[in-house]
Amino acid sequence: MAKHIIIDPVTRIEGHSKITIFLNDQGKVENAQFHVTQFRGFEKFVEGRPFQEMPSLTARTCGICPVSHLMAASKACDDIMAVRIPATAAKLRRVLNLAQMVQSHALSFFHLSSPDFLLGMDSDPVARNILGVAAKFPELAQDGIWLRKFGQQVIERMTGKRVHPAWVVPGGVSKPLSAEVRDQILADVPKALTIARRTLEWFKPAIKKFEEEISTFANFPSLFLGLVTPDGSLEHYDGFMRIVDSNRKIIADKLESSAYAHHIGEAVEPFSYLKSPFFKPLGYPGGMYRVGPLARLNVCDRCGTPLADRELAEFRKLQEGAVLSSFHYHYARLIEIVYGIERLSELLGSSDILSTQVRAVANPNKSEGVGVSEAPRGTLIHHYRIDPDGLVTWANLIIATGHNNLAMNRGITQAAKHFVTGKKIAEGALNRVEAVIRCYDPCLSCSTHALGQMPLQVQLRDVEGTVLDEQLRE
């Protein structure tokens, strides 16, 4: 059957966001909070479902990074089945995950954030979008569109579907890769690399114009969390969790994903539905950490591919220790795009990539499973428990936006203190506060909206709590 109708009540699960900026009695910004409202309890929703459904069910919760949920969920299912998936299946999943990262980073960088860099933070909001970029900088816009399509096409070619592919399954993948698809993807690699490098060459000098933003966009010491390979290289699919401090000193290493709960606590704040994870040994909120592209580059010793490693060496020169400004998430994203393309072409070139042994079959052999992978936005943790029949009794998901919750709050507070003055929120200040959120590229419906706009409510309140100003972005 060529067409499917999708009847899909799960799309009810979505996030809405709101920022409140609080002034103190001197009328200066005291604090800012990022609230996620109406975040439907996904964990409740999956109770009683066969665990094999988890990859597709969790992928449905997120329209932007379904592939990431497929990864973490399938890995949690592999764990429940207690199987080691065939080597080729792991490689194919890796390729898919990298392709997802490339397309997602391209979307974030070109479509959502490049208007700020190219047209200016204070430019007219009506034209401050990818169309505005296309009008003034057509080549760059085309590059962005092409690169995103490259990633999407890899996903579509490998899985047969662009959105919600059911190809990644518990135990591996459902179909082996064909030589034809491999060759199609490899044929596009040189152009993709050229574009990624060209963009970096343009962006690196361009950031000099943003000194003020760099120093105030969530620029503060924090921990960073990300996966690394056993030898400490950049990792997105498997490996161990590592935590470094703001000096890039490793403070926890080789953490098994199954033991995440020993290291990560989850605080609940009344102002947000999103839990606030923290590194347990340092307590709450001192154990605040960041995840995502910036964190991954801060935690790893090297990327492990030639071009990306050269870029990483230059990136490290930005700052002694860890790179702290969240503004540099953008820069890190571009380096990761280069890495992703290099690495996926390397994987596709391996001799066993067309092997037909791509799936391990087993009944559930454990009552609990954890899967951790790196989504474009950061570390993604899926943890399920099942009953003896294989039905899910409990699930816990920590998404990248959750990990970054504390840091986002700190970040918008910092930016608001610097840019918001008086009793009104000026357009430029509003955009900068939003841009801090965009640095983290949070995976809420707000970041899916095309053209760089997010449905976001921003309120300015005085010390009594009276609303002084309110802005709504649809």
Partner 1 sequence: MKQTTGRTLGIKIGGVEAQAREGDTILDVARALGLFIPTLCTFKGLSAAGACRLCMVEVRGVPRLLPACATAVADGMDVTIDSPKVVAYRRQVIELLLAERNHICAACVANGNCELQEMALKLGVTHTRYPYRYPVFKVDASHARYGFDANRCILCTRCVRVCEEVEGARTWNVMGRGIRSTVATDLQEPWGRSTTCTACSKCIHVCPTGALFEKGRAVGEMQKRENVLPYLSSMRSSGR
DSSP helix/strand/coil, 227: strand
User: DSSP code of 93?
Assistant: H
User: DSSP code of 221?
Assistant: -
DSSP helix/strand/coil, 461: strand
> Cβ of residue 393: shortest distance to partner 1, in angstroms?
12
Query: Which of residues 9 and 465 has its CB atom nearest to partner 1 in the complex?
Result: 9
Is there a contact between 76 and 308 (Cβ–Cβ < 8 Å)? Answer: no
Site string (30-69) toward partner 1, x via CB under 8 A: ------------------xxx-xx-xxx-xx---------
Give the tokens for residue 26: 């001197």
Site string (307-346) toward partner 1, x via CB under 8 A: ----------------------------------------
> Cβ of residue 71: shortest distance to partner 1, in angstroms?
14
- Which of 10, 87, 261, 267 is close enough to bind partner 1 by CB under 8 A? 10
How many residues sit close enough to partner 1 to count as binding (CB under 8 A)? Answer: 29
Q: Is 248 left (phi over 0), alpha (psi -120 to 50) or beta?
A: left
> Cβ of residue 155: shortest distance to partner 1, in angstroms?
16
Query: Binding to partner 1 (CB under 8 A): which residues in 366-395?
Result: 389-391
> Cβ of residue 62: shortest distance to partner 1, in angstroms?
12
Q: Which long-range contacts (CB under 8 A, 24 or more apart) does 173-179 make?
A: 173/89, 173/92, 173/93, 173/358, 173/359, 174/358, 174/359, 175/358, 176/88, 176/92, 176/354, 176/355, 176/356, 176/357, 176/358, 177/92, 177/353, 177/354, 178/354, 179/354
Per CB under 8 A, does 100 bind partner 1?
A: no
Angle between helices 405-419 and 427-440 (to 10 degrees): 160
- Which of 153, 174, 448, 453 is close enough to bind partner 1 by CB under 8 A? 174
Q: Which stretch binds partner 1 (CB under 8 A): 7-15, 187-195, 248-256, 303-311?
A: 7-15
Is there a contact between 177 and 158 (Cβ–Cβ < 8 Å)? Answer: yes
Site string (235-274) toward partner 1, x via CB under 8 A: ----------------------------------------
> Cβ of residue 294: shortest distance to partner 1, in angstroms?
33
Q: Collect all residues with Cβ–Cβ distance below 8 Å to 446 and sequence separation of at least 6.
A: 15, 16, 17, 437, 454, 455, 456
- Which of 82, 166, 206, 467 is close enough to bind partner 1 by CB under 8 A? 166
Per CB under 8 A, does 86 bind partner 1?
A: no
Angle between helices 329-348 and 87-106 (to 10 degrees): 150
Per CB under 8 A, does 464 bind partner 1?
A: no
- Which of 18, 91, 93, 164 is close enough to bind partner 1 by CB under 8 A? 164
Q: Report the alpha-carbon distance of residue 26 to residue 463 in Å, rounded.
A: 9
- The residues that touch partner 1, with contacts defined as CB under 8 A, are 1, 3-10, 48-50, 52-53, 55-57, 59-60, 164, 166, 169-170, 174, 361, 363, 389-391
